[in-house]
Protein backbone atom coordinates (compact mmCIF):
# COMPACT_ATOMS: atom_id res chain seq x y z
CA UNK A 1 0.00 0.00 0.00
CA UNK A 2 1.35 3.43 -0.91
CA UNK A 3 1.99 5.86 1.90
CA UNK A 4 0.10 9.15 1.71
CA UNK A 5 2.30 12.01 0.61
CA UNK A 6 3.30 14.41 3.34
CA UNK A 7 3.16 18.15 2.70
CA UNK A 8 6.56 19.75 2.09
CA UNK A 9 8.41 20.43 5.31
CA UNK A 10 9.47 23.88 6.34
CA UNK A 11 12.80 22.92 7.89
CA UNK A 12 15.85 25.18 8.09
CA UNK A 13 17.68 25.20 4.79
CA UNK A 14 14.59 24.48 2.72
CA UNK A 15 12.42 27.05 0.99
CA UNK A 16 9.51 28.46 3.02
CA UNK A 17 6.02 27.11 2.48
CA UNK A 18 3.25 29.21 0.94
CA UNK A 19 -0.32 27.94 0.84
CA UNK A 20 -2.88 28.93 -1.77
CA UNK A 21 -6.53 28.19 -0.96
CA UNK A 22 -8.91 28.22 -3.91
CA UNK A 23 -12.19 29.63 -2.56
CA UNK A 24 -13.71 31.47 -5.52
CA UNK A 25 -16.05 28.78 -6.83
CA UNK A 26 -19.76 29.09 -7.35
CA UNK A 27 -20.68 25.65 -6.04
CA UNK A 28 -22.98 25.10 -9.00
CA UNK A 29 -23.37 21.36 -8.40
CA UNK A 30 -24.44 22.05 -4.81
CA UNK A 31 -27.47 23.98 -6.09
CA UNK A 32 -27.12 26.55 -3.35
CA UNK A 33 -26.99 30.33 -3.39
CA UNK A 34 -24.33 30.15 -0.66
CA UNK A 35 -20.69 29.87 -1.73
CA UNK A 36 -19.57 26.29 -1.20
CA UNK A 37 -16.76 27.27 1.20
CA UNK A 38 -19.29 29.04 3.44
CA UNK A 39 -21.42 25.96 4.08
CA UNK A 40 -21.02 24.90 7.70
CA UNK A 41 -19.56 21.80 9.22
CA UNK A 42 -19.53 21.52 12.99
CA UNK A 43 -20.94 25.03 13.27
CA UNK A 44 -18.07 26.65 11.31
CA UNK A 45 -17.72 27.48 7.61
CA UNK A 46 -15.75 24.92 5.61
CA UNK A 47 -13.17 27.60 4.77
CA UNK A 48 -12.45 28.05 8.50
CA UNK A 49 -11.41 24.40 8.81
CA UNK A 50 -9.08 24.72 5.81
CA UNK A 51 -7.62 27.98 7.13
CA UNK A 52 -6.88 26.45 10.52
CA UNK A 53 -4.93 23.62 8.89
CA UNK A 54 -3.11 26.01 6.53
CA UNK A 55 -2.15 28.29 9.41
CA UNK A 56 -0.72 25.35 11.34
CA UNK A 57 1.39 24.36 8.33
CA UNK A 58 2.92 27.82 7.86
CA UNK A 59 3.22 28.15 11.65
CA UNK A 60 2.07 31.77 11.53
CA UNK A 61 5.34 32.75 9.82
CA UNK A 62 3.73 33.56 6.47
CA UNK A 63 0.25 34.63 5.39
CA UNK A 64 -2.12 32.18 3.73
CA UNK A 65 -3.10 33.18 0.18
CA UNK A 66 -6.80 32.85 -0.65
CA UNK A 67 -8.35 33.20 -4.10
CA UNK A 68 -11.85 34.63 -3.73
CA UNK A 69 -14.58 35.37 -6.25
CA UNK A 70 -18.17 34.34 -5.62
CA UNK A 71 -19.40 36.06 -2.43
CA UNK A 72 -15.86 37.38 -1.91
CA UNK A 73 -16.63 39.72 0.98
CA UNK A 74 -18.37 36.96 2.96
CA UNK A 75 -15.52 34.52 2.29
CA UNK A 76 -12.94 37.15 3.30
CA UNK A 77 -14.87 37.80 6.51
CA UNK A 78 -14.88 34.08 7.39
CA UNK A 79 -11.15 33.82 6.68
CA UNK A 80 -10.36 36.90 8.80
CA UNK A 81 -12.41 35.47 11.66
CA UNK A 82 -10.19 32.40 11.60
CA UNK A 83 -6.79 33.94 10.76
CA UNK A 84 -7.05 37.53 11.94
CA UNK A 85 -6.65 40.69 9.91
CA UNK A 86 -3.09 40.04 8.74
CA UNK A 87 -3.20 36.26 8.44
CA UNK A 88 -4.30 36.13 4.80
CA UNK A 89 -3.64 37.76 1.46
CA UNK A 90 -6.68 37.82 -0.80
CA UNK A 91 -6.53 37.51 -4.58
CA UNK A 92 -9.73 38.17 -6.52
CA UNK A 93 -10.72 35.98 -9.45
CA UNK A 94 -13.23 38.27 -11.15
CA UNK A 95 -14.61 35.62 -13.48
CA UNK A 96 -14.76 32.02 -12.32
CA UNK A 97 -13.18 30.05 -15.18
CA UNK A 98 -11.96 27.01 -13.31
CA UNK A 99 -9.19 25.78 -11.07
CA UNK A 100 -6.30 26.48 -13.45
CA UNK A 101 -7.46 30.05 -13.93
CA UNK A 102 -7.78 30.50 -10.16
CA UNK A 103 -4.15 29.47 -9.67
CA UNK A 104 -3.10 31.68 -12.60
CA UNK A 105 -4.89 34.61 -10.95
CA UNK A 106 -2.55 34.31 -7.96
CA UNK A 107 0.62 34.52 -10.05
CA UNK A 108 1.27 38.19 -9.29
CA UNK A 109 0.85 37.71 -5.55
CA UNK A 110 3.15 34.68 -5.47
CA UNK A 111 5.32 35.21 -8.56
CA UNK A 112 8.38 36.51 -6.74
CA UNK A 113 8.08 34.25 -3.72
CA UNK A 114 11.04 31.95 -3.24
CA UNK A 115 8.92 29.25 -1.67
CA UNK A 116 7.30 25.89 -2.07
CA UNK A 117 3.64 26.34 -3.02
CA UNK A 118 0.96 24.04 -1.64
CA UNK A 119 -2.41 24.39 -3.41
- Residues whose CB is less than 8 angstroms from the CB of residue 77 and which lie 6 or more positions away in sequence, other chains included: none
User: Can you say whether residue 13 is alpha, beta or left, with left for phi > 0 and alpha for psi between -120 and 50 degrees?
Assistant: left
Residue 8: its pLDDT value, please? 54
With CA atoms as reference, report the closest residue to 102 among 54, 70, 64: 70
Residue 103, number of CB atoms within 10 A of its CB: 17
Which of 30-34, 35-39, 42-46, 65-69 bottoms out in mean pLDDT, i.e. has the lowest?
Answer: 30-34
What distance in Å separates the CA atoms of residue 82 and residue 100, rounded to the nearest whole number? 26
The alpha carbon of 75 is separated from its chain's Cα centroid by a whole number of angstroms, namely 11
What's the length of the chain? 119
Among the residue ranges 23-32, 47-56, 73-82, the one predicted with the least confidence is 23-32
pLDDT band at residue 23 under the 50/70/90 scheme: very high
Amino acid sequence: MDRPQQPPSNQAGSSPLDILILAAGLGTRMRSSTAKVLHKLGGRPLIAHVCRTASALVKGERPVYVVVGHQASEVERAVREELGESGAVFVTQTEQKGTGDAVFTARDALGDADSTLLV
